[in-house]
Amino acid sequence: MDKTNHREMEAMIADIERETLLTHNTIGKSALDDKVLAAIRAVPRHVFVPPELRDQAYGNYPLPIGGGQTISQPFIVALMSDLLNLPLNATVLEVGAGSGYQSAVLAHLARRVYSIEIVPQLARRAAQTLQELGIANVEVQCGDGYLGRSENAPYDGIIVTAAAPHIPPPLVEQLKPGARLVIPVGLPYMPQQLLVVERNPDGGLTRRNALLVAFVPLTGKHAAASPNIARAGTDSLMK
């Protein structure tokens, strides 16, 4: 990373820290974990954005990456990574690889990351970018992330980077006891709840709303159903 990108990275980190303070009453903390910020610093965000937008790569806002998808706001990437509360040597499932940026951040926090992307060209591009960066502990698969990836379950954490109309039951089933699912839930292009869903040792769920967010919608033929799991668990709404 050259000096210009380094300065822009540090400015982005300062923006993340500032926004964390501004939202501390809702997210429940005034500072993110040091290891999460270290993971953010370790990933050159400009590599994951289209060439024509690289002068904006370190701005604290989302950017289009093609296919109607975006690379998420850095603060949201950092917050969702923090909310996972991953243990050492974690195995993580990511639904929605997009550009691969969130995958790359998770690669610095987990032993293994399995990422699913429904848009074939985005899946290929994300895998190529990660390979070019020498990130070898992320596997990108093209498919419908609503169903998860049962062959590698259970997971120490699951993160969803698109808004679902409800909590997908297959993802809950693939969580280890004590593990968390971090997912935006709500209608497309409307304020959504960023939910933290934790699977209790007895199999029950506890969930809370960490923040109001706006994500592109989760796509695929399974995303439109409305199972009862959408209301399962105990709500502790923070906003």
Q: Measured between alpha carbons, how far is 6 from 57 in angstroms, rounded to an integer?
A: 12
**Catalytic site residue 72?**
yes
Q: Measured between alpha carbons, how far is 36 from 40 in angstroms, rounded to an integer?
A: 6
Number of Cβ within 10 Å of residue 53's Cβ equals 14
pTM of the model: 0.91
User: Which residue has 């993802």 as its token pair?
Assistant: 171
pLDDT tens digit string along 78-109? Answer: 999 999 999 999 999 999 999 999 999 999 99
pLDDT tens digit string along 180-237? Answer: 999 999 988 789 999 999 999 888 899 999 999 999 999 888 776 555 433 333 333 2
> Token pair for residue 114?
């399995």
Q: Which domains are delineated in the chain?
A: 3-235 (3.40.50.150)
Cis peptide before 154 (omega within 30 of 0): yes
Number of Cβ within 10 Å of residue 128's Cβ equals 12
pLDDT tens digit string along 15-62? Answer: 999 999 999 999 999 999 999 999 999 999 999 999 999 999 999 999
3-state helix, strand, coil in the chain (%, to 5): 35, 25, 35
- Identified catalytic residue from 30, 72, 103, 115: 72
Q: Measured between alpha carbons, how far is 77 from 123 in angstroms, rounded to an integer?
A: 18
